[in-house]
Chains A and B, each alone.
Chain A
């Protein structure tokens, strides 16, 4: 199985901060990487697919980059509604990272 490792597991940030979350795959997955946002008690919501394609309707504050084994989700200017847990998912054989919880500083 392809293992997905996210870092950090949690972070504290302020409104307006630039936030970067990293996801590393245990083997080369090309661009087969998606990002989701999950708020408490809600289902995950797709943000980015194919490593860098923004899902329709998602704010351009979110961007994704990377290929191979190392990927990044960036929130350009953190807003209050962005406080949530973020997951990466490799779509070769479908496994998820452990999540990164973004909390208010």
Chain B
């Protein structure tokens, strides 16, 4: 059974960098059949996909246009985890952040998110 365990600070000051980590058990961050995602949820924006990292003979990333200039998602293969960095945060980045695994049916293009991490409430405030 795949489990994801998130860690990281719950309070970040404006203009600083938000950093969260997601530890994977029961699967590999280097899996050729999964991608590793970050999603956030806030009353203002609802559920918002932020981006993903995945390995298909080499590492790839995709990011949401809304955060593309500020975001980095990267794997740590030695620790079997992946991380989110979001730079230059503002109060609008206050949200519950979730990591997750993206699965797919090969050749069909169908994808879905399962499982999710437990969520981390990150507040951006001085």
Chain A bound to chain B? yes
CB of A65 within 8 Å of the partner chain: no
A-facing mask of B77-116, CB < 8 A → 1, else 0?
A: 0000000000000000000001010000100111111111
Known: A46-B113, A49-B112. A95 touches B119 (CB 8 A): no
A-B contact count (CB 8 A): 50
How many angstroms between the C-alpha atoms of A91 and B110 in the bound complex? 7
What secondary structure prevails in chain B residues at the interface with A?
Answer: strand
Residue of A nearest to B65 (CB): A1
- Pick from B46, B105, B116: contact of A50, CB under 8 Å: B105
Binding site for B on A (CB under 8 A): 31-32, 34, 36, 42-46, 49-50, 55, 87, 89, 91, 94-96, 98-99
Q: Is the interface of A mostly helix, strand, loop or mixed?
A: loop
Report the bound CA distance from A96 to B46 in whole Å: 8
Expressed in whole angstroms, the Cα–Cα distance for A31 and B109 within the complex equals: 10
Shortest beta-carbon contacts, A-B, top 6 = A43-B116, A96-B47, A49-B112, A46-B114, A94-B49, A50-B110
